[in-house]
Amino acid sequence: MAAGARTAGNPGEYAYVVEAVYEGYLCHYGRSRLLADPDRDLALLAGDLFYAIGISGLAGLGDPESVGILSDLIRVTAELEARGDRDAAEAVWLAQLIALSCGSDESHGGLVSALQCGEPGAVTDLAEWAAGTADRHCIGRAFEAAREAIDLRPRNS
């Protein structure tokens, strides 16, 4: 999701970063799109490598704000996965992609924290923030494509 003003100067590099981090996430919590049925230890190691590739790519772009956004994404979704809360993890993914693409605002961090704490309505509030921010920045189509691409429903083995 490199359609917003923050990422428009180098959309290919940002898309590469997001894909690497997403593949890392899938190796840890889902099914890799690149590795054919790795054993669990290999999948975890590969996931760590993909995370590192993504964060390193951002560091190479000289974008410390985005490093923080994606680092928070990795940390918060790990906590949510440990709790078995896929709906919340999906909301964080979309919100962090919007923050990466369009920028964060004063309410974004509070909404992520509320979701992390399991506050009632936090998933809906964060999802509404992401959709509203995408609309304000005129990237609604890219947002819908990202929402469809980030499918965190449990996969059949």
pTM: 0.85
33 domain-assigned = yes
4: closest CA among 96, 107, 125, 118?
96
pLDDT of the residue at 156:
46
CA distance 77 to 26: 11
pLDDT for position 153: 56
* 3 falls within a domain: no
User: Helix, strand, or coil here: 121?
Assistant: coil
| Residue 120 pLDDT > 60 | yes
- Residue 154 domain-assigned? no
Question: Does residue 68 form part of some domain?
Answer: yes
Classify residue 45: in a domain, yes or no.
yes
156 within domain boundaries: no
Per-residue b/e over 99-125, b at no fewer than 16 CB within 10 Å? Answer: bbbbbbeeebeebbebbbeeeeebbeb
Quote the percentage of the chain above a pLDDT of 90.
48
Q: Please tell me the total count of domains within the chain.
A: 1
* 5 part of a folded domain: no
Q: Judge whether 119 lies within some domain.
A: yes
State the Cα angle at 39 between 34 and 43, rounded to 5°.
50
Range of the domain at 138: 11-149
Q: Residue ranges of the alpha helices (H) in 84-121?
A: 86-102, 106-116
